[in-house]
Chain A
């Protein structure tokens, strides 16, 4: 059964700082990994999807990496802004026949202070 862990649980940084959010997963036989953003009381916004054949994906100030062999993914946010304040969730699929089912980490609550 897939298990996903995110570190740190919370992070507070001043505006402009670069930061890294960490995600680890136990079952490395995945074919993709997805990062989401959730604002308080809202749904999830998909940020980046990394295929197993890729090592990283970039979208604007966001860069996500994937290392299947070590069971780790990182989300790098460059030049953070107060609008980046949200909970960031990492989700990895199960392996085998149920590989469409996602297991979520508990998230990292990010606060960017002006």
Chain B
């Protein structure tokens, strides 16, 4: 199974600022994803991070708000831009391996004041 790390583990940010979250996997994965988990809710897929090209966003999520990079097979970043309190959530990175089994990072807990 893949081991996935994320940085930072948590942050408290001011309204209007941006935060970049890093995700590192310890082995090559076929696909990488970014999810959001709002308080008390389940996970919602933000986008699929594509190596060397633009991410594929789900309905309701746009590149200007959540720019994503994936420069190589094992690393990706998600930026939450121009933050508001509604962006307070846990952001999770995942990677898929054999049989499309997905493995998750520990998450980044974001609080926007």
A: which residues have CB within 8 A of B?
31-32, 34, 36, 41-46, 49, 51, 89, 91, 93, 99-102, 104-107
Q: Which residues of B contact A51 (CB under 8 A)?
A: 99
Contact check, B31 vs A100: say whether CB atoms are below 8 A apart. yes
Contact check, B43 vs A46: say whether CB atoms are below 8 A apart. no
The contact sample of 28 A-B pairs, CB cut-off 8 A, is: A31-B100, A32-B100, A32-B101, A41-B90, A42-B106, A43-B6, A43-B104, A43-B106, A43-B107, A46-B102, A46-B104, A49-B101, A51-B99, A89-B43, A91-B43, A91-B102, A93-B100, A99-B100, A100-B31, A100-B96, A100-B100, A101-B33, A101-B45, A102-B45, A102-B102, A105-B42, A106-B42, A107-B42
The answer to the question of B7 belonging to the interface, with a C-beta cut-off of 8 Å to chain A, is no
- Cα A34 to Cα B105 in complex, Å, equals 16
- Cα A37 to Cα B41 in complex, Å, equals 14
B: which residues have CB within 8 A of A?
1, 4, 6, 31, 33, 41-43, 45, 48, 90, 92, 94, 96, 99-107, 109
- Cα A43 to Cα B106 in complex, Å, equals 4
Q: Contacting B48 at CB < 8 Å: which of A41, A44, A101?
A: A101
Residue of B nearest to A101 (CB): B45
Q: Contacting A49 at CB < 8 Å: which of B4, B31, B99?
A: B99
Residue of A nearest to B43 (CB): A104
Q: Which residues of B contact A89 (CB under 8 A)?
A: 42-43
Contact check, B1 vs A32: say whether CB atoms are below 8 A apart. no
Residue of B nearest to A49 (CB): B101
- Cα A13 to Cα B92 in complex, Å, equals 30
